[in-house]
Structure 1
Amino acid sequence: MQLGPNPNAVYPNENIKSVCYIKNVITRPNIIVGDYTYYDDIGGAERFEEHVTHHYDFLGDKLIIGKFCALAKGIEFVMNGANHRMRSVTTYPFNIMGHGWEKAMPTREDLPFKGDTVVGNDVWIGQNVTVMPGVQIGDGAIVAANSVVTRNVPAYHVAGGNPVRIIKKRFDDDLIQYLLELKWWDWPARKIFDNLEALCSGDLTEIRRVQGGRDA
């Protein structure tokens, strides 16, 4: 009996090559992705790493993405290496041009450093979204297409715009807290399979009948 797609497959559905499970194609150790998180791009979903830019080992920042996230075509994660000196006379990156100018190599302390970029679990990010360095997007959040995420997005909130702003909560505070404690994305495959109807129901009371979270 099948309990869902293989989380270790590159393409969860072999008939749809535009959807790729990111975890199984990344090569950089500083990108960490959870099971079932996918990138959707008919132009090459398996080339997700090309959408993580200015990501240099010497800076040490990580991109961390949780489980069951849905990332749409055209996403870009801009990492800390995109930053230039801001406290010196010029912001020009002489060092990358070479030919003697490499003596002006900045240190990590010279650059604005925002830390790791973290995307929670069950996050939906629309097409052509840009996520700036050091941003944290909470579990269950939704980011509208064409947004530029310059600030943190709380769990189970909808955000959009350039720069991004919080539009609304998806659910009331009580249900948000329940879901954060339930952590359905950590369930084994069998439990997810058995509770798909509750997870996908428009009747939000259905999820409270599932064993788990604070009511367990």
Structure 2
Amino acid sequence: MIIIHDTARISPLSDIEDSVRGTRISIGAGSIIDSFVKIKPAGGMGDIEIGKDCVINSGCVLYTGNGIIIGNRVAIAANCTLAPTNHEFRDPHRPIREQGFRPSKGGIQIHDDVWIGANCVLLDGAILEKGCVIGAGSIVRGRIPEYAIYAGNPITRIGSRGHSDLLP
């Protein structure tokens, strides 16, 4: 089921697939889904909830997997992937595609007022607390504290909003 608020703006060049298994995709008031964004029910039964006044820029891919919750006023830059699921791969005698998926690590949670830079990858179990910033090209798979600024691969804390010794 796809629920889009009347004031959300969805590019006709985006691709939001409806689920055949009952996954719910909800897009809040004033949110913008740019061209070439792909939202795909895959890898689990989780829902995607996008809050109010969010922007998901061109080229992003969101899989439902174990679920994605995005708060209000979140900005996700171009070409990010949100993948709250992991393939099982332990049995070397069976093809990976036949092994299903690993147990959930809780999906992806993005709290209010978060900025995610271009080309980031968020994995199952990522929790981005209120007001944090993720630098371009980062891979996130754990908890990022409120108002912290993290970047790189491996991801490293480089400061916090309002105070940063490491930023120019």
The TM-score range, normalised by the shorter chain, is: 0.5 to 0.7
Deviation at 1:91, TM superposition (A): 7.0
Is residue 76–residue 129 contact of structure 1 (8 Å, CA) maintained in 2? yes
The residue number in structure 2 matching 1:85 is 89
Query: How far apart in 1 are the matches of 2:131 and 2:125?
Result: 19
CA RMSD, aligned part only?
Answer: 3.1
The residue number in structure 1 matching 2:104 is 113
Partner secondary structure for residue 143 of structure 2: coil
Query: How far apart in 1 are the matches of 2:97 and 2:50?
Result: 34
| Unaligned stretches of 5+ residues in structure 1 | 1-5, 12-19, 96-104, 173-216
Question: Which stretches of structure 1, 4 residues or more, deviate above 6 A after TM superposition?
Answer: none
Q: 1:7 to 1:120 in 2, by over 3 A?
A: farther
Structure 2 counterpart of 1:21, one-letter code: I
Q: For residues 28-107 of structure 1, what are the structure 2 equivalents within 5 Å?
A: 30-41=47-58, 51-53=61-63, 55-56=64-65, 61-80=66-85, 82-86=86-90, 88-90=91-93, 92-95=95-98, 105-106=99-100
Query: How far apart in 2 are the matches of 1:84 and 1:90?
Result: 12
Tell me which protein shows more helix as a share of its residues.
1
Q: Kindly, what percent of the aligned residue pairs are identical?
A: 25
Please, what TM-score do these two structures have when normalized by structure 1?
A: 0.53
- 1:83-137 deviations in whole A, cap 9, x for unaligned? 2233x44573252xxxxxxxxx54x6xx243122100000001111111111100
Tell me which protein shows more strand as a share of its residues.
2
Please, what TM-score do these two structures have when normalized by structure 2?
A: 0.66
Is residue 84–residue 91 contact of structure 1 (8 Å, CA) maintained in 2? no
Query: How far apart in 2 are the matches of 1:35 and 1:27?
Result: 20
Aligned partner of 2:32 among 3, 21, 28: 21
Structure 1 counterpart of 2:32, one-letter code: Y
| Unaligned stretches of 5+ residues in structure 2 | 11-30, 164-168
Deviation at 1:37, TM superposition (A): 0.6
